[in-house]
Chains A and B, each alone.
Chain A
Amino acid sequence: MSHFAWKAYRDWPGHAWLALPIRLYLGSVFLLACYHKVLHPDQFALDVATYQFLPLALINLFAITLPWVELGSGVLLVTGWKSRGAALLVALMMLAFIVALASALHRGLDMSCGCFASNAVAGDDPISGMTLVRDGIWLAMALHVLLFDRNPLGPGRFRTWLRRRRGTSLKTKEDVR
């Protein structure tokens, strides 16, 4: 893709509308994913330990904080406030998940994903190549929001629209005077 084509695509004004369903979907996925982890940090810590990826000293800290980052990112993506920052967080989390999953698959670990519920509950959600593909798609969605949704539909855009509208109406009054 040439520089001009890239710039034209990047500056396409329709991105905000294209990104809206992506944001809502991705945000909902993360809100759904965090629910069980927030309420059952002990089970999530066991899920994290099952990956045999983090040292013991970091497992609990990770299990305590990650669900809240997922929760906050989900809320920001759905509402459209600071959504690019949230998309960056989601992209980093997805990268980390993909690395951990790929490592577990490479070692041949026969385990559940633990993505939406604990291993004990989600016994029928084993990790596989499809889990990697799914996470890759979610990573691509997060990157799309991060790179192209530069003027997202949400509170920021509404405020700008409101300001502009007020400015316009003031100008009209001045014109009348």
Chain B
Amino acid sequence: MGAGTRATRPVQTWKGVVIDALVAGLLLSGLGLVFNALYSDGIPLVADKEYDILVPCPEPLGEVFPLEPDGLSQEGTVVIDAREPEQFDEWHWAGASNVPFDFLDPVASDKVADIIRTRARRIAVYGDGEDPDSGRELARELAGRGARNVFFVPGGASALMAGKASAQPADSGDRGDRNGRTGNTGDNANRSGGAP
């Protein structure tokens, strides 16, 4: 095509372009409506109930810091286990409280308030140690919701168990519980038997 093709036919006006778009849009929408009416998997024109949407809404996230396992036994530390209750029952850090972390549901406000009320010098959270680590995620959520000095244990429960001296059987008489009520601070953990 050379320069001569420019004048082969009149250039369409903007009005013509808009009319083309309008006509095409209306005709195609009508076609869609007809197809939907005849199609076996068609849907009603107006939804009769709300859709179940599973999109995790972001929680405000705060700054958290890594903590070595031996830091859990320091005085004034509240220890939180972010794993599932079954895993918590199998093994947990002496005096730890179980606050299972869910990627979809935020932690209940009363549990968060309970943790903040302890006025612990620091809050140490450990989780499954996977990627993403439930402990770190819970720590970020708590920090974002007003808790201060929140730490997480890199590697989670596995890292704690690896240092076997820290390992505690679940029925060792510690004062942690599965309801998110904070158990003890670090000095209590030592007294409850076995934490390093």
A positions within 8 Å CB-CB of B: 11, 13-14, 16-17, 38-42, 45-46, 49-50, 52, 56-57, 59-61, 63-69, 71-73, 76, 82, 84-86, 88-89, 92, 107-111, 146, 150-151, 153, 156-157, 160-161, 164
Tell yes or no: B172 within 8 A of A by CB: no
| B24-52, CB < 8 A from A | 24-25, 27-29, 31-33, 35-36, 39, 41-47, 50-51
| Cβ–Cβ < 8 Å partners of B12 in chain A | 84, 150
Q: Is the CB of A85 within 8 A of B20?
A: yes
| Cβ–Cβ < 8 Å partners of A111 in chain B | 55
How many Å from the CB of A103 to the closest CB on chain B?
13
Tell yes or no: B132 within 8 A of A by CB: no
Q: Is the CB of A13 within 8 A of B2?
A: yes
Q: How far is the CA of A146 from the CA of B16 in the complex (A)?
A: 12
Q: Is the CB of A16 within 8 A of B1?
A: yes
Q: Which residue of B lies closest to A68 (CB)?
A: B32
How many Å from the CB of A77 to the closest CB on chain B?
11
Q: Which residue of A lies closest to B2 (CB)?
A: A13
Tell yes or no: B18 within 8 A of A by CB: yes
Q: How far is the CA of A150 from the CA of B32 in the complex (A)?
A: 29
Q: Which residue of B lies closest to A61 (CB)?
A: B45
B positions within 8 Å CB-CB of A: 1-6, 8-9, 11-12, 17-21, 23-25, 27-29, 31-33, 35-36, 39, 41-47, 50-51, 53, 55-58
| Cβ–Cβ < 8 Å partners of A146 in chain B | 17
Q: Is the CB of A49 within 8 A of B51?
A: yes
How many Å from the CB of B50 to the closest CB on chain A?
6
How many Å from the CB of B186 to the closest CB on chain A?
35
Q: Is the CB of A89 within 8 A of B46?
A: no
| Cβ–Cβ < 8 Å partners of B20 in chain A | 82, 84-86, 88
A17-B1, A40-B41 known; A150 vs B11 contact (CB < 8 Å): yes
Question: Can you name 9 extra interface pairs (CB under 8 A) apart from A64-B33, A85-B20?
Answer: A41-B36, A56-B51, A61-B46, A64-B32, A68-B32, A76-B24, A88-B17, A109-B58, A151-B5
How many Å from the CB of A34 to the closest CB on chain B?
10
How many Å from the CB of B16 to the closest CB on chain A?
8
Q: Is the CB of A72 within 8 A of B55?
A: no
Q: Is the CB of B42 within 8 A of A41?
A: yes
| Cβ–Cβ < 8 Å partners of B11 in chain A | 150-151
| Cβ–Cβ < 8 Å partners of A71 in chain B | 28
Q: How far is the CA of A46 from the CA of B50 in the complex (A)?
A: 10
| Cβ–Cβ < 8 Å partners of B5 in chain A | 13, 16, 151, 157
Q: Is the CB of A13 within 8 A of B42?
A: no
